[in-house]
Amino acid sequence: MKKRVVVTGIGAISPVGNNAATTWENVLAGKSGIGPLTRLDPEQYSAKVAAEIKDFDVEKYIEKKEARKMDRFTHYAVGAALMAVEDANLKIDENNANRIGVWIGSGIGGMETFEKQFETFQKRGYRRVSPFFVPMMIPDMAAGQVSIYLGAKGVNSCTVTACATGTNSIGDAFKVIQRGDAEAMIAGGAEAPITQMAVAGFCANTALTTNPDPHTASRPFDLNRDGFVIGEGAGIVVLEELEHALQRGAKIYAEIVGYGSTGDAHHITAPAPGGEGGARAMTIAIEDGGLKPEDIDYINAHGTSTPYNDKYETMAIKEVFGSHAYKLAVSSTKSMTGHLLGAAGGVEAIFSVLAIKDSIMPPTMNYETADPDCDLDYVVNGARKADVKAVLSNSLGFGGHNATIAFKKYE
């Protein structure tokens, strides 16, 4: 028997808020975290805007001396995880530590650390490279540090699947609990990619928008979209075996019921034609959750605001849902958060469960001109109240990674 798994805690650090409540409030209000690129000199790049974290005080979560031994993506992961566990009112001690695990991924890990330490190496030689360089840089250190800070000794892992990372991490953690290997998992994604080489690389492969206007730069499904806005942050959820959650009187946001993960086997950056890999991921998640396509009310789309992604994701939805594709609602919150790469799926999972809990679907902002290729019922330029019973959250990544998780109202 598969064990039932519920979401009992959420924590987020995002361009639109340094906690989950503020992030959700601002997204529902259509407020954007996208602004002029300030972490880097915008004159050096074709991209002029970014979705940056603002006014984040790392010392609220990590002592200053210890914070210096971590990359920013780990700062965000630890902060969001501590908030999620507090929100879940989950006490971790010697009685349960072995049954509580961590599964947090990052698409590119400590890129900022790598750049700074390489500069030190070039100027001053290897002896001046920090002894913490490797532990600061490697993507699994977010999961490692969260485990240390919380004392969680169960399954400890890290998924690296580019922009599908956060969703894969939550899906993989869900399966750990479902098969009985843990009673709770702290899961999601973290990213801090607004660095010289990361932005240069994304500009070089023309993935980033060249639109300098923060108010229209990220416009998923709009005819005039031209690329994504790079963002940073972390989204972490606490997943818990249902009986464990009920025994301790935990609040329940929603139930996670399905997970689909597929590969395109097509191209290193472009999605497979027609979004066929994404379509298979959605189908698997629906079937895994014991749902029917017509049960889905809302899809939090990957919706990057790139020409191919939005077109092919729309095609994939129509392939999976048939006529019901026009009856469900779709939105991309990346229009406000930007694209958080490996953290996107974590933050968007939080939006998905809150859509169920609060009976409201967050909007796609900045939508002005309809694209004939993107003809679904997009929730545009304002949130929509609705009875949301079942949701899919999609993430697609370079390398042909596709991931979908399915949530439904807990009953």
SS3 332: coil
- Between CA 104 and CA 342 the distance in angstroms is 10
Compute the average pLDDT of residues 24-35: 98
Hey, which residues does 408 pair with through a beta bridge? 255, 390
CA dist 11 to 77, 101, 196, 326, 347, Å? 9, 16, 28, 32, 8
Residue 407 in any domain: the answer is no
At 254-292, the pLDDT tens digits run 999 999 999 999 999 999 999 999 999 999 999 999 999
SS3 231: strand
pTM above 0.75, yes or no: yes
**Dihedral, CA of residue 75, residue 103, residue 332 and residue 252, to nearest 10:** -100
The residue annotated as part of the active site, out of 158, 163, 203, 374, is: 163
Alpha helices in 89-195 (DSSP H): 111-124, 133-137, 141-150, 165-178
Tally the domains of the chain.
1
Residue 299 in any domain: the answer is yes
Domain that holds residue 332: 1-397
SS3 294: helix
Residue 408 in any domain: the answer is no
Handedness of CA 173, 175, 180, 181 (dihedral sign): negative
What percentage of residues in the chain have a pLDDT greater than 90?
Answer: 100
- Between CA 309 and CA 17 the distance in angstroms is 26
At 44-60, the pLDDT tens digits run 999 999 999 999 999 99
SS3 278: helix
Residue 401: which pLDDT band, with cuts at 50, 70 and 90? very high
SS3 14: strand
Give the per-residue SS3 of 361-394.
Answer: ECCECCCCCEECCECCEECECCCEECCCCEEEEE
- Between CA 283 and CA 319 the distance in angstroms is 10
Residue 368 in any domain: the answer is yes
Compute the average pLDDT of residues 377-394: 98
Residue 405 in any domain: the answer is no
Judged against a pLDDT cut of 90, whether residue 41 lies above it is answered with: yes
pLDDT, residue 358, reads: 98
Judged against a pLDDT cut of 90, whether residue 1 lies above it is answered with: no
SS3 258: strand
- Between CA 220 and CA 378 the distance in angstroms is 10
User: Which residues have CB under 8 Å from 243's CB, separation 6+?
Assistant: 3, 4
Residue 141: which pLDDT band, with cuts at 50, 70 and 90? very high
73 near 198, Cβ under 8 Å?
A: no
Handedness of CA 30, 36, 39, 42 (dihedral sign): positive
Residue 410 in any domain: the answer is no
SS3 13: strand
Question: Encoding tokens for residue 330?
Answer: 């779709």
Cβ count near 97 (within 10 Å): 15
Residue 406 in any domain: the answer is no
At 70-110, the pLDDT tens digits run 999 999 999 999 999 999 999 999 999 999 999 999 999 99
Which helix (H) or strand (E) element contains residue 320? helix 307-321
Question: Encoding tokens for residue 99?
Answer: 């049954």
What percentage of residues in the chain have a pLDDT greater than 70?
Answer: 100
Question: Encoding tokens for residue 327?
Answer: 């009856």
Which CATH number covers residue 49?
Answer: 3.40.47.10
Pairing relationship of beta strands 254-263 and 401-408 according to DSSP bridges: antiparallel
Tell me how many helices (H) and strands (E) the chain has: 13, 15
SS3 130: coil
pLDDT, residue 66, reads: 97
- Between CA 40 and CA 37 the distance in angstroms is 6
Residue 402 in any domain: the answer is no
Q: Residue count of the chain, please give it.
A: 411
Q: Is 163 a catalytic residue?
A: yes
Compute the average pLDDT of residues 335-354: 98
231 near 340, Cβ under 8 Å?
A: yes
pLDDT, residue 410, reads: 98
Beta-strand runs (E) in 80-127? 100-105
User: Which residues have CB under 8 Å from 57's CB, separation 6+?
Assistant: none
- Between CA 399 and CA 218 the distance in angstroms is 23
